[in-house]
Amino acid sequence: MFLHPKSFIDVSSEKSRYEEHNNDVTDPRYQNFVSPITEAIANHFFEDSDGLDYGCGTGPVASVVLEQKGFKKIALYDPFFQPDEKVLDNTYDFIICCEVMEHFYGPKDEFLRLRKLLRPTGKLFCKTSILKDHASEDYFKDWWYNNDPTHVFFYTPSTLKYIAEQFNFSNVTIDPKLITFG
């Protein structure tokens, strides 16, 4: 399910909307929100692993939490707030994509990029709200996640499995609070 490109908001409005987010890296509620990602990374990778926080926004809380856990090699990228594209020339052991993939105007291009940025044994950790397979039109209209004008692409479990197959991930694990492509 996706928003028709004619309905996309302009870049200035999009950036303004992101600036409204309260991404305080010291907020325990925000740290708890990203904990499925940070705990998975801490459980699967060593502190000297290379990571990328892709779409880190104004407050890269996942990276800050991981740095507090001893991870020191996490690059930041965000097209609005950390636009240094040199970090996209490297490869990484893990990539964080927290509340980002619903903003992809071109999911195919983005997942191609993300796959290329991962090392062969790397993992892509994503967090987004997942739409039920075969959700009714009424369900979609009433779904709170649909109300953000910057959310342009919505994923179902079937879509996530398709992405794993199409972009040569060996698997995808779909939990309510974490999607892991390996």
CATH number (domain holding residue 18): 3.40.50.150
From the CB of residue 9, how many other CB atoms can be counted at a distance below 10 Å?
A: 14
pLDDT at 93: 98
Q: What is the pLDDT of residue 115?
A: 98
Nearest to 150 by CA among 8, 2, 38, 4: 8
pLDDT bin (cut points 50, 70, 90) of residue 156 is: very high
- Count the neighbouring beta carbons within 10 Å of the beta carbon of residue 70: 10
Question: In one letter, which amino acid is 46?
Answer: F
Alpha-carbon span 50 to 12, nearest angstrom: 32
Q: What is the mean pLDDT of the chain?
A: 94
Tell me if 114 sits within 8 A of 89, measured CB to CB. no
Q: What angle do CA 44, 47, 51 make, to 5 degrees?
A: 75
The answer to pTM > 0.85 is: yes
- Please give the order of strands across the beta sheet that includes 92-98: 74-77, 51-54, 92-98, 118-127, 178-181, 172-175
CA 97 to chain CA centroid, Å, is 2
The percentage of residues in the chain with a pLDDT greater than 70, rounded to a whole number, is: 100
Return the pLDDT at 21. 76
Pairwise CA distance, residues 59 & 37, whole Å: 15
The total number of residues shown for the chain amounts to: 182
What is the domain range of residue 13? Answer: 5-181
Distances (CA, A) of 4 to 49, 102, 165: 39, 14, 25
Chain segment 11-46, per-residue pLDDT in tens: 999 999 988 877 789 999 999 999 999 999 999 999
**What is the reported pLDDT for 4?**
86
Looking at the structure of the chain, the number of domains it has is 1
10 vs 13: CA distance, rounded Å: 5
